[in-house]
Amino acid sequence: MMMETSSTVSPAKPQYTVDVHGFSQTERIILKSIFSLSARRAPKFVEFMPTMDSMPDVFLVDAEDANAIADFRQKNAMNTRPAILIGDTNHGISCTTLSRPLQWTKMFKAFDLAVGINTPSPIPKPELSVRIAAPYEKTQPMVALMPTLRSSAPPITPPQLSNTTTLKSNPVNQKLADNLTLANPPDRPFNWVLVCDDNMTVREFMRAKLAPFGFNVDYAETGEQAVGLTGTKHYACVFLDVVMPGINGYQVCKLIKSKKSAAKTAVVMLSSKDSTFDKIRATMSGCDTYLTKPVNENRLFEVISKYLPTNA
């Protein structure tokens, strides 16, 4: 249930503070990760600390915790700040309410709406098409895979084009793209992610989930392409399908992990196989995490938070 808050919000800022009330230890850990990932967005949201010499911009309250509700009512007695309640009731408070479990995509949208950013998603999505590299050949240079806007203009040769530069080609998103570029310079080491999967649906799913954080993302259809790309660029993380044409994900993982230049690269296996044997095989090949398809969004969020830190 979404309700308009009666509070007045200030003009857009690069950063907003969120005062958290209540929540279990487990949910606090999830919220900490959400704030960590928020540092890659524009605007970003940080947890309000009592030592800050100002009022918080937003209140985030556990609606199931009576003490948290009472504390919130006291601190926001004049209803001067917007609030987000997590639970099944809003206690008669004019605010945004979200049901459990905590989901980072919903939280980001609720934060934006609370401060008056009425966008349907953390980053406006221009119409995109995914261009896939040609089959890997040892005699030819590897072509990086990038999302590009559909246009009649000649294509830009990768790796010059990234998710951020794609957004900048749309004047409406110019300012937002500039903010992302400042927060995530394209030439910063380990600011790149590789998604290798022969299924277009999976590639599009990963593109949508990674887009809000400003990562530069390459895409590959085969293990050979993935090996070629990791030989020319440093990646913070490689999301790797297990069953693909040519060499499989286990072999690709071993090849990636054998490279000294990829020592800090995390490999996350994506597989429809959920047996103990397959997971053990993945571990023996050197993978850092094993995700089962269809990929659970909350598990994916945990992986992004763990292997793609804000100071990458």
- Interval 18-58: pLDDT, tens: 999 999 988 888 888 788 878 777 788 999 998 877 889 99
Mean pLDDT for 174-203 is 64
Contacts of 196 (CB under 8 A, 6+ apart): 219, 220, 221, 222, 223, 225, 226, 238, 239, 240, 241, 244, 249, 252
Residue of 174, 169, 134, 176 whose CA lies nearest to 150: 169
Whether the bond between 50 and the residue before it is cis, its omega within 30 degrees of 0, is no
| pLDDT number for residue 252 | 94
- Reported for 160-164, long-range contacts at CB under 8 A and 24+ positions apart, including other chains, are 162/186, 162/216, 162/217, 163/210, 163/211, 163/214, 163/215, 163/216, 163/217, 164/214, 164/216
| pLDDT number for residue 51 | 83
Residue of 271, 285, 272, 263 whose CA lies nearest to 239: 271
- Same fold flag, 15-114 and 128-307: yes
Cα 298 from Cα 103, distance rounded (Å)? 7
How many CA atoms lie less than 13 Å away from 157 in the CB half-sphere? Answer: 2
| pLDDT number for residue 11 | 56
| pLDDT number for residue 122 | 40
Percent of the chain with pLDDT over 90: 37
- Of the listed ranges 2-16, 187-201, 204-218, 219-233, the least confidently predicted one is 2-16
Backbone angles phi, psi at 88, to 5 degrees: -95, 0
Would strands 96-98 and 83-86 be described as parallel, antiparallel, or unpaired?
parallel
| pLDDT number for residue 37 | 78
Tens digit of pLDDT for each residue in 250-279? 999 999 999 887 878 999 999 998 899 999
Residue of 164, 124, 128 whose CA lies nearest to 147: 128
Rg (CA), the chain: 21
CA–centroid distance for 179 within its chain: 16
pLDDT value at 238 more than 60 = yes
Architecture of domain 15-114: 3-Layer(aba) Sandwich (3.40)
> Which one-letter DSSP state was computed for residue 128?
E
Residue of 144, 128, 114 whose CA lies nearest to 226: 144
Handedness of CA 268, 273, 275, 278 (dihedral sign): negative
What average pLDDT does the structure give for the chain? 75
In order of 164, 171, 269, the CA distances from 150 in angstroms are 16, 15, 31
Q: Is there a contact between 197 and 223 (Cβ–Cβ < 8 Å)?
A: no
Q: Is there a contact between 2 and 97 (Cβ–Cβ < 8 Å)?
A: yes
Percent of the chain with pLDDT over 70: 72
Domain boundaries, the chain: 15-114, 128-307
Tens digit of pLDDT for each residue in 58-102? 999 999 999 999 999 999 988 889 999 999 888 888 888 998 888
Tens digit of pLDDT for each residue in 209-234? 887 777 889 999 999 999 999 988 88
pLDDT value at 153 more than 60 = no
Please tell me the CATH code under which domain 128-307 is placed: 3.40.50.2300
